[in-house]
Structure 1
Amino acid sequence: MKPRNLMGPDETLARAWQAQVITLFPEAFPGILGHSLTGKALKEGRWQLQPVPLRDFGEGKHRNVDDTPAGGGAGMVLRPDVMGAAIEAARAGMPAGAPILYLSPRGRRFDQAMARDLATRPGVTLICGRFEGLDQRVLDHYRITEVSLGDYVLTGGEIAAQAMLDATVRLLPGVLGNAASTEEESFSEGLLEHPQYTRPAEWQGLEIPEVLMSGHHGEIAKWRRAQAEDLTRQRRPDLWAAYKGRPE
């Protein structure tokens, strides 16, 4: 046994899920991913993280990675030659079947279904956007899928990348202590999760619902399903419509 650098380009671990992040801020990783269950799984080699510093592929004395937008406009755009070189170097060590995703506010919205799909792949290469974005030719040439966390704009893709990796890594075999947790949580069946309770039985005049204390597992399951359906119908009519419209 010997210590392993969780940030560096170590040798590829056999059977480990591979994650690459092309970023101007490699020091931001693993960040929160180095803690809790994802951090434990990282140390155990269930998955491997390789930040790819985009600046290393920059042009000229100052390692420039961006330039002004063609046609004019505010801000800067990440250069295709720089990003292309970073992608080529990164992908040389990635297994076939690992997709390339670009974190962008105009992308497809990330959801639990996408996290489940990524967890079945051998890994993923994430590109963190910055400035006004990435030259479209890179996206077209490498057939990169754009992915967004939601309808808002971040200063860069690093936070989004960590969120996506957290959602995916926790689904890898052996990461969660209780595999049933992923089957009962929000979005697992297209519904929000039911309310949760724990001891003490009474707090601030509020009691745990009686059915949860009954020991009758069939009734508990029915109660939880009804609660999940009610919450989804009230809070997420979009999810509720999709749930009701699914094939039986």
Structure 2
Amino acid sequence: MKIDVLSLFPPMFEGVFGESILKKAQEKKAVELNVIDFREFSPHKQKSVDDYPYGGGAGMVLKPEPIFEAIDHVASSSNKKPRIVLMCPQGERYCQAKAEELSKEDHLIFVCGHYEGYDERIREHLVTDEISIGDFVLTGGELGAMVVIDSVVRLLPQVLGNEQSAIKDSFSSGLLEHPHYTRPASYRGMDVPEVLTSGNHAHIDEWRLKESLKRTWQRRPDLLEIYPLTSAQKKWIHEWEKLKDS
């Protein structure tokens, strides 16, 4: 996969792209990460990238020329049309399903804006996706792009040491992940659940599913509105609700 990021502040990505999983993914040739300063594509002598909004109002708006020209430049090397992602508070709320969708692409281009917003022609005629990482406002799109890129790259084949890690993560199955324990089995009077040390993998799988469902019911019940519950799982929830009300 190739990922290009258009930003006015490329140094912001140095630490994120140069450490941990993203660094290892590049070393394994699973992904190529590039950050482009789109100011270099400004047609103006002063390399300006923003201007006052037509009709008046507060703030500055990113001009279309630098973004269009920069994307023409980075997309010219693609055999297929890249997905162009605009980081924007008006975009769709980011989720694991979207990460899995984007991880199947060959080339992603992220546009990180600043100031009051984008010239609407960028949104209407250039981008394929608009993404928001939450209902809050950041100084720019860089931090949001880092979040999305990290969540996408870790899904690429061979990036994680254990391929099952991404499959069993919270949200990948539609539920939050079950609790984890490691050695020692007993610490300060706190014991690991006996089922996990039993060696009975069928019982362990059932315990993990039940705990995953319980944690989702407790913390993110909204996720269960679209989760295909079995009759046994519905019975578990009914029992927990009775205990909660008693």
Does the pair score TM above 0.5? yes
Q: How does 1:22-171 map to 2 (within 5 A)?
A: 22-171=6-155
Match among 184, 190, 194 for residue 210 of structure 1: 194
Specify whether residues 59 and 204 from structure 1 end up closer, same or farther in structure 2 by C-alpha distance, changes over 3 A only: farther
Structure 1 unaligned spans of 5+? 1-16
Contact 1:95/1:123 (<8 A) preserved: no
Deviation of residue 144 (structure 1)? 3.0
Alpha-carbon distance between aligned partners in 2 of 1:107 and 1:161, rounded to the nearest angstrom: 13
Deviation of residue 55 (structure 1)? 1.1
Runs in 1 of length 4+ with deviation above 2 angstroms? 58-62
Alpha-carbon distance between aligned partners in 1 of 2:25 and 2:129, rounded to the nearest angstrom: 27
Give per-residue Cα distances to partners, 1:142-187, cap 9 Å, x unaligned.
2432101111111111111111111111111110111011121111
Specify whether residues 72 and 55 from structure 1 end up closer, same or farther in structure 2 by C-alpha distance, changes over 3 A only: same
Deviation of residue 62 (structure 1)? 2.2
Aligned to 2:167: 183
**Root mean square deviation of aligned Cα:** 1.5
Aligned to 2:179: 195
SS in 2 for 1:173: coil
**TM-score between the two structures when normalised by the length of structure 1:** 0.88
Alpha-carbon distance between aligned partners in 2 of 1:35 and 1:215, rounded to the nearest angstrom: 37
Alpha-carbon distance between aligned partners in 2 of 1:95 and 1:220, rounded to the nearest angstrom: 47
Aligned to 1:240: 224
Contact 2:28/2:159 (<8 A) preserved: no
Q: How many residues align?
A: 230
* Identity among equivalent pairs (%): 43
Alpha-carbon distance between aligned partners in 2 of 1:37 and 1:63, rounded to the nearest angstrom: 35
SS in 1 for 2:177: coil
Deviation of residue 97 (structure 1)? 4.2
Contact 1:22/1:51 (<8 A) preserved: yes
Amino acid at match of 1:29: F
**TM-score between the two structures when normalised by the length of structure 2:** 0.89
Contact 1:24/1:54 (<8 A) preserved: yes
Deviation of residue 129 (structure 1)? 1.6
Contact 1:34/1:42 (<8 A) preserved: no
SS in 2 for 1:115: helix
Give per-residue Cα distances to partners, 1:75-98, cap 9 Å, x unaligned.
111001221111211211234142
Structure 2 unaligned spans of 5+? 231-246
Deviation of residue 201 (structure 1)? 1.1
Alpha-carbon distance between aligned partners in 1 of 2:189 and 2:148, rounded to the nearest angstrom: 39
Deviation of residue 245 (structure 1)? 7.2
SS in 2 for 1:243: coil
